[in-house]
Amino acid sequence: MNARCVHAESSVVDREPCGKSIQPPRLRAAIVALLALLGTSVAFGQTAPRGPAADGRAIYRDACAACHGLDGKGMPSDEVGTLVAVPDFTNCRFTSAERTKDWSAVIRGGGPARGFSRVMPAFGDALTDDEIRLAIGHIRTFCTVSRWPAGDLNFPRPLATEKAFPENETVFAFSTPLQDSDTAEMRIIYERRLGSRGQVEAAVPFAARQIGDQWYRGLGDVSTGYKQLLLESGRSGTLVSAGTALTFPTGKEQYGLGTRLTVLETSALAGQRMGPAFAHGQAGFEFPLNVASTPNEVFWRGALGIVLTPGVDGRTWSPMLELTGHREFEYGDPIRWDLLPQLQVSLSRRRHVAATAGARIPVGGPARPATAMVSLTWDWFEGGLMEGWR
């Protein structure tokens, strides 16, 4: 970045009428005043931030354009002098996915601050926090399609409640009862974003069940789904989506690995930023399609959480609390309530790999055992599973 210029205001020394000389006391006073003014100007040039005219465009031009280009498309690698490709800021898929804090960390500490290339230098000593914020604001103007939701609305994923934000990630979820552990399940969930607001997903469970002295293992009931973001407001921090999913009876019911039901699920999803905190909500219906005697079901889920970062660029810790309920459409059928306290921790420097641990605790309805739940979330759009750790 170019060094800041020191602007000294000119001073005017009143002169005596022509033919008269300045008296020594007045001369000394003028010299003292001039030196004081120059000293103040030098101090101002060294410590004061840029003036109002130095907006994000000017900061980007001075600090970033040499590598990233004035148009944001990135200079050719041979001109930059590196084999690492310079990102294209006009690619909305890339620009919108990042959170402001992650942009700031990379600009302040360089690529290694988030497990990226060392080719990206650190500007923490050259730019103030306000200047970094202005530069990020200008960088985001290179994406000219407003339908892409801001990455700041991509809140941490709870264990049960689905997110309204469309994702590119894979989740490995494991659950088992805390008492009488005769069942266990691992579910692999793959989510892929379509365009700016769509998402397709597939969930493949693998279950184990003990019947007598024999353990049975195999594929559970596979499901596929689609989610569409309907409303997004960066100003109010609100997301609203609609989703649908279809579950197929691929697991063997006789071994307790699945059901014989083909189930259609529809739901509405919402996300809300509340200062440093966030909330998720989901409500919907399940309709068994192949067995007429099976009742339909209504369900609702909600989660509250907060993102904590003890260090400036350290791990993120996200304690969350979920409350879920579901009820079958039968007369007198009780509501089954569950409470899910949990904690999510980012593992990689890039924060694209995170682990969540918690428990599902029944708090209403028929007696059921508490269940331990653990998940590993990998945002593969940010890089490979083994990338960005150092």
Question: Distance between CA atoms of 186 and 173, rounded to whole angstroms?
Answer: 6
Question: Distance between CA atoms of 157 and 356, rounded to whole angstroms?
Answer: 9
In this prediction, residue 35 carries a pLDDT of 37
How confident is the model over 363-379, as pLDDT tens digits? 988 889 999 999 999 99
Which helix H or strand E contains 175, and what residues bound it? strand 169-177
* Structure-block tokens of residue 103: 């942009």
Which DSSP state fits 120?
S
Say how many Å lie between the first and final Cα of the chain, rounded: 26
Secondary structure class of 66 (helix, strand, coil): helix
Handedness of CA 93, 99, 105, 108 (dihedral sign): positive
Residues of the chain with pLDDT under 70: 1-54, 311-313, 331
Fold classified for 151-382: Porin (2.40.160)
* Single-letter amino acid, residue 222: V
Question: Distance between CA atoms of 355 and 377, rounded to whole angstroms?
Answer: 6
* Single-letter amino acid, residue 107: I
User: Is-contact 13 27, C-beta < 8 A?
Assistant: no
Fold classified for 56-142: Cytochrome Bc1 Complex; Chain D, domain 2 (1.10.760)
Which helix H or strand E contains 183, and what residues bound it? strand 183-194
User: Is-contact 308 277, C-beta < 8 A?
Assistant: no
- Give the start-to-end residue ranges of the domains of the chain: 56-142, 151-382
> CB-side exposure of 34: number of CA atoms within 13 Å?
11
Contacts of 3 (CB under 8 A, 6+ apart): none
In this prediction, residue 118 carries a pLDDT of 87
* Structure-block tokens of residue 388: 């960005």
As beta bridge partners, residue 140 has none
Question: Distance between CA atoms of 352 and 248, rounded to whole angstroms?
Answer: 31
Residue whose tokens read 């004035």: 70
Q: Strand 183-194 vs strand 198-211: parallel, antiparallel, or unpaired?
A: antiparallel
Question: Distance between CA atoms of 250 and 256, rounded to whole angstroms?
Answer: 12
Tell me how crowded residue 231 is: count the other CB atoms within 10 A of its CB: 13
Question: Distance between CA atoms of 225 and 242, rounded to whole angstroms?
Answer: 11
In this prediction, residue 37 carries a pLDDT of 35
* Structure-block tokens of residue 40: 């103040």
User: Is-contact 358 342, C-beta < 8 A?
Assistant: yes
In this prediction, residue 236 carries a pLDDT of 95
* Single-letter amino acid, residue 103: W
> CB-side exposure of 121: number of CA atoms within 13 Å?
12
